[in-house]
Structure 1
Amino acid sequence: MSKISIKEYIKEHRQELEQNPNVLKVGKILQYTPKFKIKAVEMRKQGYPMREIFELNKLPFNKDKNDMYVLKWIKQYDEQGKESFYKKNRGRNKNGKSGRPKKEIELSSDEKVLIQEKLIEVLRKENEELKKEYRLGKEVKQSGNEFKIKPTQDIFRYIHKIKDQVKISIELLCKYYEVSRSGYYKWVKTIPNRQKREEQDYADFVVIKKTWLKHNKKHGYLRINMDLKNDEGIVMNPKKIYRRFID
């Protein structure tokens, strides 16, 4: 077979490849059947050259890519057995055990485009501004001569807000904004606690402000602490009062 790129070969021989029993799916790249992967491993172990393995099965050959595929299949064959080729490996690690891999697979260009199109469709005018603000989960915003990083929790909050509108899985959204999916779910679980804390913070603010106004806005946070204890019977950490003053 003359030297030709895989993409060019697929364009010229798509129909033939779709009928090839060794091909599982024909796209921008070829996906091979489990049966062929096992066959390729066994042929290689018998001494067949890499090129011959593919050409005998009427498949295009690219030395760099196909060599890498076969070496990967050989490793899987030796470590997990031929049965592993028939198992769905999504959500499994290299040992075949379930569990999220430490490093997630990067989104393909098509997936990124799909997400962007859906975001634009739902958010329209505000999308561009939001995308600039939240892109990569760490958009840099200038403040004077300093730069501030967008907190990851803000990204979680944004994903939680748009997830039902865009109808894209949490996994893809987290990949798109480069934040942890497990981190997002942990953040979701703490929403009730955060709401309670925010409600309590607001209640504290109200009583602090009330006491401050009662004394004609003259008392600082240490005096307010004493006023709360003496007037309202409320014991509050002075640091909390100080934070409320700052806020």
Structure 2
Amino acid sequence: MSKIIFNEIQMKLLEQNPNVQHVSDRSIAYKPEFKVEAIKENSNGKGPAQIFIEHGFDLEMIGSDKPSECLKRWRKTFEQFGEDGFFTERRGKASTGRPSSKPLSVEDNLKKAEARIKFLEAELGILKKVRRTRKAGEEEEKVTVSEKYMLIEQTIRKFGLIHMVKFLCKKAEVSRSGYYAWVKAESMRSDREENDWNDYELIKEIFDKKKGFAGALTIKMILENDYFVEMNHKKIRRIMRKFNLVAKVRQINPYKKMAKATQEHKTLSNLLNREFDQGEPGKVLLTDITYVYYGAAQPAYLSCVKDSSTREIVAYHLSRTLKMDLVYCTLDKLSVALGDLVHPEAMIHSDQGFHYTHPEFQKRVKKLKLTQSMSRKGNCWDNAPMESFFGHLKDEVDYSSCQSFEELQGLIGTYIEEYNTNRYQWSLNKMTPAQYRSHLLAA
């Protein structure tokens, strides 16, 4: 059984699809005609996901694995029974899926009632099992009263148990008056579900633009700044959970071993000591190098300088090689960017890599009137903001699709411009780096 639980509005949306016969909170009953058509299209080379999308199904709602699971099961039925197997599997139910109006005998009614009771017990048991917490030693989470009311209502509607409300409420350990109050509030719940759906569509639009790398706080900032919509971040998280929007999480890369410095090279003290945000633009500059692959797994190397207070990328240079020109060009571009506005206490901080311990590099840093600081050996947290930027860049830029170095240059340049001017950051008072620099200068 599927682990996805459909809410009321999702069930209604799915039932609007002409290929759907009936929807419960956990399953979808598809029409036989759709099953036959899906098998034919699959035999002609179409993939399961493509078939479902073309017939109006949202894979994020029903689950990305659902198409392949259904086609596998339907093909097996088709091989055994042919097309007739799909039209007879409803076992005599009316075409609408509603219970027959034909009067039943006392014995048949008793059997049907027993089946209904077993169905309810199974539904409650399965729900408890699915909602059990994953951590060992914790008690399982109880089903909420609202969920019990919903199950009772679905059971009554599905089996026509109009006169068994009292019994079912007793079985589910809820009050009958509470159930009737819940039924009476259907319109209020529908309004709330509709509002949630409208908010979900807005959140989903932003989520898709960010290719799944947007959490609740990022979405909140974009809503406020670009859409002029105020929405509590707790509500955004609730809606994302409700509609199965899970932000992608960047995995920590393994630590890269740094080459030992020769006697000619000189390491320097960690003057910064992780005091990254000193509230003054241009006072603390961070620099580092990362690699990206493009085309046929060809490496390119990106050197950046980041303003630690404003989070701006002040200067960067992309190269095909790791030669010293990579950092020399970066310093030249930094000199142009700073101009005559070099902070009197300006500091540039890096790791103890070969490029930064090189005598010529240190000589050029002094010429720019910058004090040089270095992270402690083997401690990437001493330059964490720079590592964070590279991580976001690799998450959000599809650099592997570039076929030429020039195309890669354009793509990275566009991303850095977007990062500086349009990327809202929670810790910058929900401003972009460029906006925050203006804010600090004004202050």
Q: Give the TM-score normalised by structure 1.
A: 0.43
Which structure exhibits the higher relative contact order, with contacts defined as CA atoms closer than 8 Å and separated by 6 or more residues? 2
TM-score (norm 2): 0.25
